[in-house]
């Protein structure tokens, strides 16, 4: 039965370890990017809610001005 020389097996093992480590790093980067994207999304939603609140405030002020004009 043919056996690969130890050098080739060690080299293959090193290459596989390198690939696994790279995949683990990529997965960690993906998870970090997901968290970052979620934080950015929440910040965007918060900004949108703030803008909505400001629009309502302005509309209420305009309505109050119109009401004063009418009386």
DSSP string, 24-35: HHHHHHHHHHHH
Structure tokens belonging to residue 11:
């080299």
pLDDT band at 23 (very low <50, low <70, confident <90, very high): very high
Q: How far is it, in rounded angstroms, from Cα 48 to Cα 54? A: 10
Per-residue pLDDT band for 5 (boundaries 50, 70, 90) equals confident
Q: Which pLDDT band, with edges at 50, 70 and 90, does 6 fall under?
A: confident
User: CA 20, 23, 27, 28 torsion: positive or negative?
Assistant: positive
- CA separation for the pair 28, 36 (Å, rounded): 12
For tokens 């690939």, the residue is 19
Give pTM, 2 decimals: 0.62
């Amino acid at each position: 039965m043919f056996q690969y020389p130890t050098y080739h097996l060690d080299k293959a093992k090193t290459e596989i370890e390198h690939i696994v480590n790279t995949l683990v790093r990529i997965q960690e980067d993906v998870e970090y990017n997901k968290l970052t994207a979620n934080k950015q999304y929440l910040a965007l939603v918060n900004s949108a809610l703030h803008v909505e609140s400001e629009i309502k405030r302005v509309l209420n002020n305009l309505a109050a001005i119109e009401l004063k004009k009418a009386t």
